């Protein structure tokens, strides 16, 4: 007998059962509410992991440069030779971490959080995730042109997977918890809770169903509040309140959206071409990453602005501290540095470098449009912000996420109209020339199309939980009470000797027996059973199961088969809704990261 079902004294049993009934009457948590609670726990844990990663990265950066300032500022103070070898050494160390980490623990599960959410069983390898995060730490701290959002998402997703496995969460719910971890990671990186939730919902899950979107939002908000409490509320980008001089300025901003949409396909093709080029070199991982770092170092000798994720440079652009002539060279060098870092297989994210490119396009666009504009002077900050949003929408093929995230960064409602127009135009312009987003290629290689086809053909048997908790129809009241105390179900299944389903006992049906101890000693399960209880067959479709739940207020349905209605499992409403949300995805879309990075870059 399990430890949770050890025999108790009648007094203990009676007290605990009364407490159980009382709590169910007051709180009555269902599975979705429990999922929401654990989404909050994951958000808090993911934020703590994010803060710890940032602090450790800062220490490693100091070891490389002997400075605590930002990456660009640190490299500006380094001698040319140091600018050359610091990224190269960091790349070699990052590659060695992966090279040795593969021998530390063979992969038994995915380390790609997107694969675990969309394709896998939600299990993310702890060892491999730690190895990849350490590799990312060396790359980021040494100036690689990549974002830190990758390892932040990886760590949060890994923590979510560990929590779900500890709770023995079913596969569909485990995948949702991992998605909550990913949302928490994005939110912690950008102080953008809605954007973090939409990133996962629109790009990975491709569903805005509340059964999945609600926990994502809860996790993101908790993560953002935790990071703000620990690190302060300073914005990621220092953006003053910006306003349009007139409504006519929407016209050049729409044109900027078109330019961003036309430039995005070339940016995506540059990243993929770099990846193919490095893969053809057939070099060991540490040599390949070291070569990528060396290229960044060479560029940093002339333009230290290419180092890091570009936060400080974007802030300089927003304040108008860079001449457009200098910005042209910075943009060109940054594109090469990002392609070298991405192609070499560094673990990190290209989400932030994408915002960098969009900011540069916006600033260059306003300088090009100003001499031709007859109205009031154009506001450069407006163009920079719109450029960031439009280019992000084009490369990710997720315009809603881009609109919300840039609005969260500015909190200026006047920008929302031109931002919406520019993002939509950029999205469709890019889509006309490039069908694949920055996250599309890997899922195709991993068989995502086959998976979704199989998902559309799921039946109840594919998502049911076998061996549900039940009691024999001759079980005494003590056994019934023990089951209700050990499990939080509202209904306890009752079976015959041959395993046939006889009905259920409702938790509240045992309430009257708590005040009549003598009568309770004589009661057996057969006396309390409700025989008129809905069941479902294992070969029933998910749509049929949804219709059955619509006429039933419980969280679970028993799955029975054969003439004697043998009880073989149960199906929960939350698992069903998650499966149906998956089923509504467009089978012609894919949503994963290329295989050599963590957010847009996941080392395989």
pLDDT of residue 544: 79
Q: DSSP code of 440? A: -
Question: pLDDT tens, 464-510?
Answer: 888 888 888 888 777 777 777 667 677 888 888 888 888 888 877 66
418 has a pLDDT exceeding 70? yes
Q: Which ranges of 370-476 would DSSP assign to H, the alpha helix?
A: 380-396, 399-410, 416-433, 441-445, 448-456, 460-463
**According to the model, what pLDDT value does residue 45 have?**
94
Please give the residue that has the higher pLDDT: either 380 or 121: 380
The pLDDT value given to residue 445? 46
**CA neighbor of 565 nearest in space, from 489, 490, 505, 504:** 504
Record the pTM: 0.72
Tokens of 202: 């629109």
Amino acid 592: pLDDT: 35
Q: State both tokens at 71.
A: 């990456």
Of 181, 241, 198, 124, which is closest to residue 392 (Cα–Cα)?
A: 198
Task: Name residues whose C-beta falls within 8 Å of residue 225's C-beta, 6 or more positions apart in sequence.
Answer: 47
Average pLDDT estimate for 196-215: 76
> What's residue 257's pLDDT?
94
Please indicate whether residue 602 or residue 558 has the higher confidence score (pLDDT).
558
Could you give phi then psi for residue 558, rounded to 5 degrees? -75, 140
Q: Are 408 and 192 in contact (CB under 8 A)?
A: yes
End-to-end CA distance of the chain: 43
pLDDT at 11 over 80: no
Q: Percentage of the chain surpassing pLDDT 90?
A: 28
pLDDT at 456 over 80: no
Phi, psi angles (nearest 5°) of residue 264:
-60, -45
Confidence bin at 413 (pLDDT 50/70/90): confident
Q: Which pLDDT tens digit goes with each residue over 23-82? A: 555 555 567 778 888 999 999 999 999 999 999 999 999 999 888 878 888 888 889 999
Span 86-97, average pLDDT:
93
Residue 435 vs residue 61, higher pLDDT:
61
pLDDT of residue 580: 58
Is the pLDDT at 162 greater than 80, yes or no? yes
Q: Give me the residues paired with residue 459 across strands.
A: 541
pLDDT digits over 270-304, tens only?
998 998 899 888 888 899 999 999 999 999 999 99
The more confident residue out of 543 and 136 is 136
Most confident of 78-92, 369-383, 522-536: 78-92
pLDDT at 150: 84
Q: What is the pLDDT, as a whole number, of residue 596?
A: 39
- Using CA atoms, how far apart are residues 286 and 282, in angstroms rounded to an integer? 12
Q: For the residues of 533-548, what is the DSSP string, one character each?
A: ---B-TT-BHHHHHHH
User: Which of residues 491 and 141 earns the better pLDDT score?
Assistant: 141
189-198, 207-216, 390-399, 411-420 — which is least confidently predicted? Answer: 207-216
Q: Quote the DSSP letter at residue 585.
A: S
pLDDT at 109 over 70: no
How are beta strands 470-472 and 491-495 bridged, if at all?
A: parallel
Q: Give Cβ neighbours of residue 62 (< 8 Å, ≥ 6 apart).
A: 68
């Amino acid at each position: 007998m399990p430890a949770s079902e050890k025999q108790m004294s009648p007094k203990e049993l009676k007290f605990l059962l009364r407490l159980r009934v009382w709590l169910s009457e007051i709180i009555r948590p269902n599975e979705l509410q429990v999922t929401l609670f654990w989404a909050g726990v994951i958000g808090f844990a993911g934020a703590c992991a994010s803060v710890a990663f940032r602090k450790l990265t800062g220490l490693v950066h100091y070891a490389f440069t002997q400075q605590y300032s930002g990456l660009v500022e640190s490299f500006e103070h380094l001698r040319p030779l140091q600018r050359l070898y610091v990224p190269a050494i960091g790349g070699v160390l990052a590659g060695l971490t992966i090279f040795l980490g593969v021998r530390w623990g063979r992969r038994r599960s995915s380390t790609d959080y997107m694969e675990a959410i969309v394709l896998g069983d939600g299990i993310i390898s702890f060892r491999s995730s730690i190895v990849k995060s350490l590799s990312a730490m060396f790359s980021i701290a040494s100036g690689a042109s990549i974002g830190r959002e990758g390892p932040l998402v990886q760590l949060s997703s890994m923590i979510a997977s560990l929590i779900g496995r500890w709770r023995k969460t079913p596969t569909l719910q485990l995948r949702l918890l991992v998605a909550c971890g990913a949302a928490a990671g994005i939110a912690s990186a950008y102080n953008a809770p809605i954007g973090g939730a939409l990133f996962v919902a629109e790009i990975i899950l491709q569903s805005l169903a509340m059964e999945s979107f609600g926990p994502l939002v809860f996790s993101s908000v908790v993560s953002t509040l935790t990071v703000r409490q620990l690190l302060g509320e300073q914005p990621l980008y220092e953006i003053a309140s910006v306003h349009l001089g007139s409504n006519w300025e929407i016209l050049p901003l729409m044109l900027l959206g078109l330019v961003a949409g036309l430039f995005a396909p070339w940016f995506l093709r540059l990243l993929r071409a770099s990846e193919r080029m490095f893969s053809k070199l057939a070099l060991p991982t540490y040599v390949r990453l070291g070569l990528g770092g060396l290229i960044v170092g060479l560029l940093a000798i002339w333009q230290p602005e290419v180092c890091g994720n570009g936060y400080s440079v974007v802030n300089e652009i927003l304040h108008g501290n860079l001449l457009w002539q200098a910005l042209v060279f910075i943009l060109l060098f940054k594109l090469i540095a990002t392609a070298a870092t991405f192609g070499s297989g560094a673990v990190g994210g290209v989400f932030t470098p994408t915002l960098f490119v969009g900011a540069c396009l916006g600033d260059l666009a306003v300088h090009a449009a100003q001499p031709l504009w007859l109205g009031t002077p154009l506001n450069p900050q407006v163009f920079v912000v719109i450029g960031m949003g439009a280019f992000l929408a084009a490369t990710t093929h997720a315009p809603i996420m881009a609109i919300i995230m840039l609005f969260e960064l500015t909190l200026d409602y006047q920008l929302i109209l031109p931002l919406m127009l520019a993002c939509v135009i950029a999205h469709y312009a890019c889509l006309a020339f490039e069908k694949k987003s920055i996250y599309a290629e890997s899922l195709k290689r991993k068989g995502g199309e086959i998976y979704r086809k199989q998902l559309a053909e799921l039946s109840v048997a594919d998502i049911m939980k076998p061996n549900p908790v039940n009691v024999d129809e001759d079980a005494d009241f003590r056994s019934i009470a023990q089951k209700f105390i050990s499990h939080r179900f509202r209904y306890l299944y009752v079976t015959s000797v041959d395993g046939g389903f006889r009905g259920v006992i409702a938790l509240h049906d045992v309430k009257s027996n708590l005040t009549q101890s003598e009568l309770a000693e004589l009661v057996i399960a057969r006396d309390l059973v409700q025989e008129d209880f809905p069941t479902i067959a294992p070969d029933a479709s998910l749509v049929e199961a949804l219709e059955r739940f619509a006429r039933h207020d419980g969280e679970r349905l028993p799955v029975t088969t054969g003439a004697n209605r043998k009880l073989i499992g149960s199906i929960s409403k939350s698992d069903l809704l998650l499966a149906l949300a998956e089923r509504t995805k467009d089978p012609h879309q894919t949503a994963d990261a290329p295989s050599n990075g963590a957010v847009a870059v996941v080392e395989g």
